[in-house]
Structure 1
Amino acid sequence: MATPFDSLDDFIALPRTEAVALSPDGRTAVLTVAALKKDGTGYDRSLWSVPADGSGTPRRLTRSAKGEAGAAFTASGDLLFVSARPDAEGDADDESGQLWLLPAAGGEARPVTRLSGGVDAVAATAEASDRIVVSASLLPGAETLEAEAGLRARRKEKKVSAILHETYPVRFWDHDLGPAEPHLLALDTDALADTIAAAVADTAAEKEEKADAAADAADAPDAAASDEKPYPATLPRPRDLTPRPGRSADIAGASLTPDGTTLIAAMQRQEQRGGRYVIVSIDTETGVQTVLFDEARVDFDSPVVSHDGSTFAYMRSAKSTPEGPTDAEVWVAGIDGSDPRRLVADWDRWATSLAWDAGDAALIATADDDGRGPVFRIPLDGGAPEALTADDFTYSHVSVDRRSGDLVALRSSWVTPPHPVRIARDGSVTPLATPAAAAEGPGSIVEVETAAADGVRVRGWLLLPDGASADAPAPLLLWIHGGPLSSWNAWSWRWAPLLAVARGYAVLLPDPALSTGYGLDFIARGWNAWGAAPYTDLLAITDAVEARDDIDAERTAAMGGSFGGYMANWVAGHTDRFRAIVTHASLWALDQFAGTTDMSVYWQEIFTPEAMAENSPHRFVRDIRTPLLVVHGDKDYRVPIGEGLRLWSELAEHHADDDGRMPHRFLYFPDENHWILKPQHAVVWYETVFAFLAEHVLGKEPTRPELLG
């Protein structure tokens, strides 16, 4: 039976559910859904409403050429989102994303902000007040919103893109930092003046401003003309809670008290080349800040305020050193920072999200666990965490229905894309309606495990193509995850093993040393020694899978991205057992990488200089005997393009013939980053990978994707 995974064009056209938000009354879930544009070159995002009890059908709420994302609810049930859709009262050429509000009572969505640089995201909303906090980037050389708009206009007019940095870092993942700085802005949505009279008054104020400017120009003809416009009086004027913030408002979570008067935020405190996160309380009327938790070499993040506003929960993590990884601790404290105490100190898992249970007697958390990502209830009375889900899925975007105590979330696995569900108090799960129904995938999935050289259990997922058997064993792809602090436990649109399964490959998704969900000791096995236990774990579980009679041990390949690319390079320099290796966005020379990545201090703090040298794959380039497909994007700031360029240069230095030819290939994307995000580039990526594997693993003739010229 044909599936959408048989065709790359069909695959990229699958609609994708990216987020879910729950209304204050618990009756409605709003989904953010991405759908392929008609020309196939990008994705449009829209918001859809579905009943939160599993009944009914999806109803589309938004439709614009620019799309919508970042959905959140106000206390009164109005829906907030960020969009660059045109504003009838704004400038026609303004393409910045603004905050919009869709009234719960019905009617058209309307803008809430008109910031010259737009709104980045909704940072927090209040449960019993229409006060919200947004994150937005403002130029440091302006004192007012009007002056900031004028300064942006002059930079645009003069085509100036230069950035003067005074601190480190200067880049993050896929974008340059600056010149604008992140700010937290408070505003009250009930201050919207959506009346004809207010609009007339706003227009009159703008005309008066222009008249004043003209008069000033007449009085002083040699003076520079002002391009400032008054901020619209019809919109609530944002209050800057973080004036002159530097990078401190690059937050790691924020939460408002129910009445909206206090924001609890994890803010950056700048250090020499990095920083640490501290917990700060901010008065949303005055902007007065009070530091609640700040310790040297400790990060505090993910604060979330209780429903009654008396308490907040947060994560505390001491910074890791070469000696070993540190734990991610769950703590609670009074809203003023009093009486802090750690919960579940003996719980050997790392919470990936926190929320308050309906009655504030427990926390709701998600965490990686044994190749899955369950939902847990963590009681405040000192009891042990309770797993609320017991299936093979990983859960995210968890919201609590305060009326019933049920939860709404997204869940996914390696055979099922993210989809919305309701989780009852007894743990039963009900799928919700969705416009992005999960597509039927090929093959089957089984859990596999083995004992590593030190006796530790190492496990993973094995996806098998239809028809794999002792009479027709399948070729094997070893896919190595990134991170390295990660786990193969949830769907990824970028790494989609079902595409390989549809082409007849078995795919092994193992969790070697350094993987999350198996406890701190399991991570520590590979700490400061990436080329040791992580490598031998991978070979051990590959040996176990190759021993199966439905696997063809003579036709195998390995592939990975980021840390997985590092490990693919390490594998290439230490064994010739694989017929082909794909290495994407890979770390090659660790000394070079550690100084050029966007956050160099972290990598240099977790390695000793000796371990960084010993575990660098570039030292073994002469030993490579396996054909490599090297893939890199020029806009990758986490693993800079220099890694791919140096790898390619050194492969040519040691393995090219007299005519400069070698069995290796280099797929280069000038305008992609750590991920390959443009749909047609994703198609080219998979076409190139599968052609390379077909040549070296299946023995087919070399082919070249058409669009590569």
Structure 2
Amino acid sequence: MIASVQSVDESGTGHVTRLWEVDPSGKDESRLVARSVEGDFAPAFAADGTLLFLSGRARTDPAGDEPEGQDVSLWAMPENGEARRIARHPGGIAAFTCAAHADAIALTADLLPGTADTGTYAAARRARERAMVDAALYEETATGAWSAALGPDEPHTFVLRSDGPAVIAGSQGLAGTADTAMSPDGSLVAYTRAATGRDPDTNTVVVAVAATGMRRRTFSRPGHQYYRLAFTPDGSTLVCQRQREETYDTEWRVTLVAFDLESGEETDLLPEFDNWPWPGRAVLSPVPGDPTMWFTGDERGHCPVFRRDADGTITRLTSSGAYASLCVTSDGATLYGLRSAIDSPPRVVRLDAATPDQQPVFVNAADELRSLPGTLTEVHAQGDDGFPLRAWLVLPEDASAERPAPLVVIPHGGPQASWSAWTSSWNPWPFAARGYAVLLPDPALSTGYGQRMQERGRGQYGGRPYRDVIALADAALARADLDAARTAFAGWSYGGYLANRAATGTDRFKAIVSAAAMWNLEALQTGTDMHAYFRKIFGDPRTRRERYDADSTHLDAARMKTPMLIVHGGRDHRVSMGQALSLHSDLVRLGVPVRFLHFPTEGHTVEAPNHIRIMYETVLNFLDHHVLGQEWRRPALL
């Protein structure tokens, strides 16, 4: 079994990936794949068992010319011998997928508008470089997404077959993703065309003939988007995730569906499944004629593995933890994947493919975490409508009734998300190491608590979700080992918005940290890559102002008194810098103590390891100053 392992580089400012071999039995220690180098990632096996992977490693021309550029290419690693590059593309390859039983590979890579193949694309790139032009003309899409600028390149799907040249199967759309699948026999390729400015909430699934690129079927549904495509073993059906985003009048709804490629019929595979776990990619049994599938999804602070049988019966296979990267053995009897939890980083595990509520078998992996500076428990409360609420509570090692710990409340982003897995950003354990307890609440709009959790929060961004967080905080602070007089509130993205709501709604907290947070909801409409999404939720601000007036925290700025630390990335396209600048100017104008930690090269999340360390140091020093009364310590590198 081959895994891609990411680690911090020698400089401590970035990440590097290498390929590791993991013994499925767990008997032998994991080891680096022979001849793998830094920059190898995304391993997969071709139909003949050859290891394929993506890499930015350079390749020197045998004639002795200078090494070629380090764009990401597709490489093959024979069992004995050096890696060889089997596909390259100007600007790099974003992703690939292999046919299970044929010598065919689908690649995702870019083309410029007006270019038809790799050759014309390379010439167009060279022409732009010679003319020193980096401008982009946008016609149907936003200029950025999450943390990156878009265009002018557009992602396409290419098919490589041993019996002919590469075929361009079709465009994935201007803002498309690397969401591609191949039928097991390599005859069909499926990909998504992204939503456009004309239909911002609807994407299209395209199934094309791999040898020619000609379309065989297209599937779409107004107001819905499809992701994470997979073919059944006989290639007759395409299974994928279907997502209906929240609107002014409807809640989020995510399910798994199957498209019959002959009839075009679409079938909901989870019609009665009310866990609302936001099911992930379906992992289909590779056994011909076996319709069993597996998937993961949030459930009450966990993300278990579920099994769906032919009759629609759903069985939960794991009792705790958060699972990802599932794969199934060729006989359909065993699953492998990654398991993490709030108190456990990801580890490779083995599961029986049918046993309910089992404990995983941990397979040896490198660099396991040996200890944590505290313990994990749960807190329970009731919402103002009687709905049962829960949260994780991290307690530092020395918390007791004699030495109650200060508490930091940290709601998750999203809002459609849940605290269930290990995270590198906003991880609670650095806080615990400093002596803080951390409450990780799942309020209204969180996933894993049934559709009712969405209904009770719809249209109330700063209403019921915020009240749920406060109810859980009150329940936690009823414990003798927590100090109700020393509390703080911190959050990122939607959690940062709730931090802004706390700043304008109460003075009970000693300090507030607002990271990548919404402040002025009307201004957000024109400054985010998801303007159509937010307008669906809040309505047109010119004609339906009710939710803006109720939930835009900037309207209550005059109530702010609590010292605040703002954290924001300069390349954030989801919540633009304008939101942070507006919040900062309001705090300065009102005379509220404020500090602004700005990362010019980061996006909606802080990702560079050195920046994450700086963020933790700044946040913890800020809390120490305002919550514990210690002298302010400015980080040395700032």
TM-score bin, normalised by smaller chain: over 0.9
Q: Is the 8 Å Cα contact of residues 59 and 68 (structure 2) preserved in structure 1?
A: no
Which amino acid counterpart does residue 50 of structure 2 have in structure 1?
A: D
One-letter code aligned to 1:174 = S
Query: Which sits farther off after the overlay, 481-490 or 341-350?
Result: 341-350
1:552-567 matches, cutoff 5 A: 552-567=483-498
C-alpha spacing 1:618/1:630, structure 2 compared with 1 (3 Å) = same
**One of 233, 239, 242 as aligned partner of 1:316:** 242
Match of 1:247 in 2: 174
Q: Contact 2:173–2:194 at 8 Å: present in 1 too?
A: no
Structure 1 residue matching 2:350: 3-state secondary structure:
strand
How far is the alpha carbon of 1:600 from its aligned partner?
Answer: 0.6
- Give the aligned partner of residue 98 of structure 1: 73
Query: Displacement, 1:339?
Result: 4.3
CA gap of 1:65–1:647, structure 2 versus 1, over 3 A, is: farther
Matched with 2:310 is 380
Work out the CA distance in 2 between the residues paired with 1:648 and 1:171.
24
Instruction: Give the corresponding residue for 1:257.
Output: 183
Structure-1 residue corresponding to 2:434: 503
The answer (yes or no) to whether the contact 2:240–2:281 under 8 Å persists in 1 is no
Distance 1:666 1:337 in 2: 57
Q: Alpha-carbon deviations, 1:615-640, whole Å to 9, x = none?
A: 01111111011100001111011111
AA matched with 2:240: Y
Report how many residues are paired: 623
Q: How far apart are the structure 1 equivalents of 2:603 and 2:247?
A: 28
Does 1:677 pair with 2:607? yes
Distance 1:326 1:36, change over 3 A: closer
Matching residue's letter, 1:99: L
Paired residue secondary structure (1:613): helix
**Structure 2 residue 43 is the aligned partner of structure 1 residue 71:** yes
Kindly state the Cα deviation for residue 251 of structure 1 after the two structures are TM-superposed: 4.0
Name the structure 2 match of 1:34: 6
Gaps of 5+ in 2: none
- Counterparts of 1:402-421 in structure 2, within 5 Å, are 402-403=330-331, 405-421=333-349
- After superposition, what is the alpha-carbon deviation per residue over 1:637-659, rounded to whole angstroms, capped at 9, x for unaligned? 1111111111111111222xxxx
TM-score between the two structures when normalised by the length of structure 2: 0.94
Aligned mates of 1:361, 1:378 — CA distance in 2: 8
1:87 equivalent in structure 2? 59
Distance in 2 (CA, whole Å) between partners of 1:339 and 1:285 is: 25
Partners in 1 of 2:574 and 2:563 — Cα distance?
25
* Contact 1:482/1:561, CA 8 A, preserved across alignment: yes
Residue 590 of structure 2 corresponds to residue 616 of structure 1:
no
Opposite residue 496 of structure 2, the aligned amino acid is G
Aligned to 1:347: 273
SS of alignment partner, residue 242 of structure 1: strand
Match of residue 654 from structure 1: 590
Shift in CA distance, 396/142, structure 1 to aligned 2, threshold 3 Å: same
Q: Is the 8 A contact 1:375 1:387 kept in 2?
A: yes
Residue identity opposite 2:47 in structure 1: A
Cα deviation per residue 1:311-359 (whole Å; 9 max; x = unaligned)? 2322333443211314223222333354432223111123122111354
**CA 114–256 in structure 1, closer or farther in 2 if over 3 Å, else same:** closer
2:76 aligned partner, one-letter code: L
- Is contact 1:369–1:517 with CA below 8 Å preserved after alignment? yes
2:46 is aligned with 1:116: no
Q: CA separation in 1, counterparts of 2:396 and 2:263?
A: 54
Q: How far, CA to CA, are the matches of 1:634 and 1:273 in structure 2?
A: 29
**Secondary structure class of the residue paired with 1:352:** coil
The more displaced of 530-539 and 82-91 is 82-91
Give the structure 1 partner of residue 198 of structure 2.
272
* Superposition pairs of residues 499-578 of structure 1, within 5 angstroms: 499-578=430-509
User: How far is the alpha carbon of 1:536 from its aligned partner?
Assistant: 0.7
1:481–1:408: structure 2 CA closer, same or farther, 3 Å change rule?
same
> Post-superposition shift, 1:439?
3.6
Question: Which stretch of structure 1 is more off in the superposition, 605-614 or 564-573?
Answer: 605-614
For residues 305 and 322 of structure 2, the distance between their equivalents in structure 1, rounded to whole angstroms, comes to: 8
User: In the aligned structure 2, how far is the partner of 1:158 from the partner of 1:363?
Assistant: 52
Secondary structure, aligned partner of 2:480: coil
SS in structure 1 opposite 2:170?
coil
Cα distance change on mapping 1:534 and 1:597 into 2, 3 Å: same
CA distance in 2, matches of 1:141, 1:332: 34
Distance 2:35 2:441 in 1: 41
Change beyond 3 A, Cα 1:93–1:66: farther
Whole-angstrom distance in 1 between the partners of 2:167 and 2:34: 28
In the other structure, the counterpart of 2:526 is 595
Residues 1:642 and 2:578 are matched in the alignment: yes
On the 8 A contact 2:146/2:573 being kept in 1, the answer is: yes
SS of alignment partner, residue 444 of structure 1: strand
The secondary structure found in structure 1 opposite 2:253 is coil
Q: Does the aligned pair in 2 maintain the 1:51–1:433 contact within 8 Å?
A: yes
Aligned with 1:304: secondary structure?
strand
Q: Does 1:629 align with 2:556?
A: no
CA contact (8 A) 2:173 2:195 kept: no
Partner of 2:154: 181
Superposed counterparts of 1:147-186, under 5 Å: 147-186=120-159
Q: 1:362 Cα deviation (Å)?
A: 1.7
Q: Which stretch has the larger CA shift, 124-133 or 57-66?
A: 57-66
Q: CA deviation at 1:93?
A: 5.0
Alpha-carbon distance in 2 for matches of 1:51, 1:691: 43
**Aligned-residue CA RMSD in angstroms?**
1.9
Larger CA Rg, structure 1 vs 2: 1
2:257 is aligned to: 331
Deviation at 1:432, TM superposition (A): 1.2
Matched, 1:666 2:596: yes
Q: Which residue of 1 aligns with 2:391?
A: 460
How has the CA–CA distance of structure 1 residues 172 and 543 changed in structure 2, closer, same or farther, with 3 Å as cutoff?
same
Amino acid in the other structure paired with 1:497: P
The residue that corresponds to 1:302 in the other structure is 228
Aligned equivalents of 2:578, 2:50: Cα separation in 1? 47
Inter-partner Cα distance in structure 2 for 1:316 and 1:41: 37
Matches within 5 A, 1:198-209: none
Please tell me whether the aligned partners of residues 192 and 205 of structure 2 are also in contact (alpha carbons under 8 angstroms). Answer: yes
The one-letter code of the counterpart of 1:408 is Y
User: Which has the larger displacement, 427-436 or 480-489?
Assistant: 427-436
Given the alignment, which residue of 269, 275, 295 partners 1:365?
Answer: 295
Question: Deviation at 1:694?
Answer: 0.2
Q: Name the CA shift for 1:400/1:59 in 2 (closer, same or farther; >3 Å).
A: same
Aligned to 1:703: 633
CA distance in 1, matches of 2:516, 2:21: 38
State the partner residue of 2:617: 687
- Provide the C-alpha distance between the structure 1 equivalents of 2:20 and 2:481, rounded to a whole number of angstroms: 43
Distance in structure 2 (CA, Å) of the matches to 1:428 and 1:471: 37
Moved over 4 A (4+): 62-66
Check conservation: 2:324, 2:338, Cα contact below 8 A.
yes
Decide whether aligned partners of structure 1 residues 56 and 404 sit closer, same or farther in structure 2, where only a CA change above 3 A counts: farther
Question: Secondary structure of the equivalent of 1:638?
Answer: coil
Deviation at 1:542, TM superposition (A): 0.3
Q: Percent identity?
A: 36
Distance in structure 2 (CA, Å) of the matches to 1:180 and 1:324: 35
Q: Are residues 482 and 319 of structure 1, via their aligned partners in 2, closer, same or farther at CA, if it must alter by over 3 Å?
A: closer
* Letter paired with 1:118: G
The worse-fitting range, judged by mean Cα deviation, of 622-631 and 311-320 is 311-320
Alpha-carbon shift at residue 63 of structure 1 (Å):
6.3
Whether the aligned pair in 2 keeps the contact of 1:46 and 1:63 (CA below 8 Å) is no
1:62 offset after TM fit, Å? Answer: 6.1
Task: Judge which range, 583-592 or 430-439, deviates more.
Answer: 430-439
Residue 9 of structure 1 corresponds to: none
User: What do residues 465-500 of structure 1 show as CA deviations (whole Å, max 9, x unaligned)?
Assistant: 112110111110101100010000111111211011
Q: CA deviation at 1:66?
A: 5.2
Residues 246, 312 of structure 1: alpha-carbon distance in 2 compared, 3 angstrom cutoff: closer
Partner of 1:448: 379
Task: Tell whether the 8 Å contact from 1:691 to 1:702 is kept in structure 2 after alignment.
Answer: yes
Whether the aligned pair in 2 keeps the contact of 1:96 and 1:117 (CA below 8 Å) is yes
Q: Aligned to 2:501, what secondary structure does the other structure show? A: helix
